[in-house]
Structures are given as C-alpha cells and as structure tokens.
Structure 1
Amino acid sequence: MEVGGKRDPPTASVIQKHSPSPEVVCHATGFFPKEVMISWRKDGEDVNEDVELRETLPNQDGSFQKRSILKVPAEDLQKHTYTCVIQHSSLKEELVLEVPKGGGLMPIIVGVLVALVVLVAVVAGIMVWKKKNSGERRKEADVKFSENRFTLSNS
C-alpha cells in the first residue's frame, strides 16, 4: 500500500496451460499503485501478436493484480526463449520471468497411455488364462465324477 509515497512491488508467476490451446499466463499481484505494464518477449524481441492483456483488478487488501496471456504453440516454447516482463513504479528495474522450456505434459500423457495399454493387456491376459484353466478343470472334474459313478442293475 502506498502510504506517504510508499509503493508495493508486484509478486509474479508464469503458468503454462495446455488445453484447449497452449498458452502461458503471466500473473502479477500485490502491487500498488494500480499502473503496471506486462509485456512478452521472444528471444529478447517484443511480442505483440496472440497476447491478451486482462484488466487490472483490485485485491481485498487494496493492492492490485493483473494478468497477461500469451497463446503460443508448445513447439515454439521448446525452440525459443519466452519471457514475461513486468514494469512498475515500485521496481528499480523491470521484473523478468522466463517461461520454462520443460517438456510440458506430453511425456506425462504418453507415459500414462503406455501404462494403461500395458495394464489392459495384462488384465486381458489374466482373464484369458483363467477362462482357459477353469475350462480344463471342469473337464477333469467331469471325468473324475464319471469314473466314480456306480451303476446299479437288477440281475
């Protein structure tokens, strides 16, 4: 809060969202006064396309928050360095957050799908094995039962 010229700097985070379309969200919060600039850079160059800048909203404590959303293909996140740049009067220099180049969710999704396929195959194999073995046991039981039968006849 600004009291007698005091200014509160923003705290910021970058979040990757993967569906329905890949996007990166830069969120700044807890700053005062209200005026703030959030921009994006790709390999050090300003990005102006596919950027959605949301309105500045008040927090309950009198500070403010703002977010900017960059729509960017996952492949581009791997090939290029993207940064969110925040400028505020409380900061001596701009706040720069780099978007992680991590593999995203794709390796996790592939891993889960492979695990599911293996699980289904194992369950199907067990079911086939049990069905096959229970059929042989019935035949063995029928044979044993017929061997133990006694036939009574009147002679």
Structure 2
Amino acid sequence: MSLFGHSGFVGNDRELLRLAARVSELNHLLDAVRRHVPQELASSCVSVAWGPEQVLLVGVRSSAAAARLRVAAPQLRDALNAAGWQASAIRPRVQVALQQEKSRINKDLRLSDSACAAFEQLADTLDAGPLRDAVATLVAHQQQRKTR
C-alpha cells in the first residue's frame, strides 16, 4: 500500500499530500546532510528545517555535535549547494529533549557478565592506585545492580 495511493493513508487529501511531499523532501535533505558530514557526526544529525533566508537548521543530539557541525558547516554548505540544495548558511540546533532522554538511558546501562569478568581481570593486572580503584568500583557497582 503506497502512502500516496488511493487506498493509502493519505488518499486524495491535498493538504496531506503536500505535507507528505514536504516530509519526504526534508528526509532526503537530512540524508544528504548525513552523507556530507564526518561519519562520526552523521548519527548525531537528527532533523533539518529551513529557516529564514535559506538558512538550514540542523537538529543535533548534543552541544559537542553542534560545535563539530559549526566547524564542518562551510564544507557542508558547499556540498549541499553543489547537490542542488541552496543553503546560505548552516546552523546547528541542539535538541534538548534528546539530551534528557539520552541521560536517562545511560543511567540504565548494565554491563554483561563477560564484560564484568573482563574488568575484574583488568583490575587484577593494574598497579594499586586510582585507576585500579575506579575499575574495582565499576565492577562492584555493576554486581550490586544485578542483585537488585
């Protein structure tokens, strides 16, 4: 069933057809942005929108990604312009809701049993000191979380 077909969700509604076409265009632009930024930055680019005066707003997951995008912006703008997207400037926008979501997810991370065993082995090979103490604390914390 096609999104744009008669039997699809959109049907013949002109407003929905226009909206679906706009979403498709922005998704293609987001794909182009991801192709023209460094690979490690691509996954942090989560949305695009056009601002006033042909400024491309790129939603990113963190302020670190925003800083990296600012550095890459001139080359990205040139690449997008060459591909047919006319952007006068590129401005990153940190998506705050994604930052809060991400921090909640990170707090729930748990190490697997094999990872805990590997860290225990690492702690045994380290000299006494702050690094060994930190690794031992990590292992103890993970083992305590498993018993909860």
TM-score range, shorter chain: under 0.3
What TM-score do you get using the length of structure 2 for normalisation? 0.24
What TM-score do you get using the length of structure 1 for normalisation? 0.24
Larger Rg: 1
Higher relative contact order (CA 8 A, sep 6+): 1
